[in-house]
Amino acid sequence: MKGGGEKLNKFIVDRMLGKLATWLRISGYDTLYVGDFNVEDEDKFLLEEHRDRVLLTRDKQLYEASVKSGRKAILITSDSVEEQLKQMKKLGVEIKIVMDRCSVCNSLLRKPSDEEALRVMKREGISEDLRKKYELWYCEKCDKLYWMGSHWRNMVKFLKKIEDDNSVSR
């Protein structure tokens, strides 16, 4: 994307970048993923809809058509989510665990009521009362709970690895 100084915080992502979309959501960025929409022509949708968002794509032709049409777009140059995140960081996008958006649907998260937390834990077969041990977040749309368990620790390790790789390559 040409030009500098503007804050990148709203994205729409092509089908090849689903993992990147998830990480952007985890990092608190309002990120739409084309796979979440029921559209016949994804390229047309990506070119014409949600034009207030920066398009992220691995498709060079789609990128060129976007730029030609005046849509803000970034060509993501790697298949590796690690390299994709590094590319986003170089563009000023902060990659960190924020937990204010659902990683699945992009909805805003909130604190669950006791009833919601207990119902989801029962449905998921979680016998431990997570409310006593963790801060919880809830997606009303997905009816999903998030907490700082082993998955969280794995995400922290992954981000630390990316950060360590960046410091070595500087």
Does 16 share its domain with 80? Answer: yes
Q: Are residues 122 and 155 in the same domain?
A: yes
Closest among 117, 120, 128, 170 to 150, alpha carbons compared: 128
> Are 16 and 48 part of one and the same domain?
yes
Is residue 105 assigned to a domain?
no
Q: Is 102 within a domain? A: no
What pLDDT shows up at residue 3? 41
168 pLDDT exceeds 90?
Answer: no
Residue 153's pLDDT band, with cuts at 50, 70 and 90, is: confident
**What confidence tens digit (pLDDT) does each residue in 81-135 have?**
999 999 999 999 999 999 999 999 999 999 999 999 999 999 999 999 999 999 9
**One domain for residues 17 and 68:** yes
Examine residue 101 and state whether it is found in any structural domain, yes or no.
Answer: no
What is the CATH number for 26?
3.40.50
Residue 4 and residue 14: Cα distance in Å, rounded? 23
Is 79 found in the same domain as 44? yes
Q: Which residue has the tokens 């005046």?
A: 70
Q: Last residue of some domain: 39, 57, 90?
A: 90
Residue 99 lies in a domain: no
Name the domain boundary from 90, 125, 143. 90
pLDDT at 5: 47
Residue 95 lies in a domain: no
**Has residue 41 been placed in a domain?**
yes
DSSP 58-108: S-HHHHHHHHHHT--EEE---S-HHHHHHHHHHTT-------SB-TTT-PB
The predicted structure's pLDDT at residue 132:
94
Same-domain status, 78 and 44: yes
pLDDT reported for residue 150: 84
Please indicate, yes or no, if residue 20 is contained in any of the structural domains: yes
**Are the CB atoms for 8 and 92 separated by under 8 Å?**
yes
pLDDT band, residue 4 (cuts 50/70/90): very low
Give how many domains the chain has, as a whole number.
2
Mark residue 122 as left, alpha or beta (left: phi above 0; alpha: psi -120 to 50; beta: remaining): alpha
Q: Is pLDDT of 166 > 80?
A: no
Residue 103 and residue 21: Cα distance in Å, rounded?
A: 8
Both 36 and 68 in a single domain?
yes
Label residue 6 by pLDDT band (50, 70, 90): low
pLDDT tens across 22-63, in order?
999 999 999 999 999 999 999 999 999 999 999 999 999 999
Domain identity same for 41 and 77: yes
**Residue 140 structural domain:** 114-169
